[in-house]
Amino acid sequence: MSAIRTIRLDLQYDGTDFVGWQIQQNGRSVQGELARALQQILQEISLVPIGSGRTDAGTHALGQVAHFQTQSQHSSEQIYRALNSLLPPDISVSSVHEVDNCFHARYSAVSKRYRYRISTVKAPIKRRWVWTIPRRLDFDAMQEAGELFKGSHEFYAFCNQHPVPKSFSCTILDCNWKICDAELQFVIEGNRFLRHMVRIMVGTMVEVGLGRRNSNLSIPLNAKLDSNDVSLATIRKQAGPTAPAHGLCLVEVNYGDQSC
């Protein structure tokens, strides 16, 4: 019997027509498309790749990472060529590498970097990749608000709480706004992210940019929870709206030193 091998996939996709990364009962998923192609190539009907994390319906990726284990003797180059010939046009595999069997696309990750794009002018050619807000946004105020997210916090108000996460603690290593022509781009890196977290951050900072909220966000990070006083749902309402998924892109997954 052949030895088990672990194969790492680096991939990108346009998330517009997907229900997200994870296989679901209804709709196309990135994981499902990859699984079907791999099963056809390797003739292993139970093979399902594991991703670094889920992305929402409509969210894109330039640097998603996945892995799978196989006893197949197909080379990395053969798998790379076969995948890109079978996958639909909205998914592309950037690289295929055999890695140590201790590598895990999700649990070995040290940090992830996301980018959110906002266009301040109507740009039809970019509509699938940017949130269009054809109004003046106060860049300096949004940048000031973003500084508050840096460091380790309990992000109670900045996540979808259905279901309630096991932990609200995340460490934001870096986050900044930058101006690129008629776009405002928010880039953030953290050790982990809660469901919809980046999109709620962006929605809150847009309220700041529109003058609807102070740059101190008007909400305390690390708010203490008291089941006799305030519910998780009430705390969520203290933050801003959830920005549209199509402006968000997973740019990079960092694994640091991948030695086991």
Instruction: Give me the active site residues, please.
Output: 56
User: Of the candidates 201, 171, 203, which has an alpha carbon nearest to the alpha carbon of residue 189?
Assistant: 171
Tokens found for residue 156:
């109670």
Tokens found for residue 188:
């953030």
CB 52 within 8 A of CB 113: no
End-to-end C-alpha distance for the chain, whole angstroms: 25
- The Cα-based distances of 10 to 87, 124, 185, 237 in angstroms read 14, 29, 23, 36
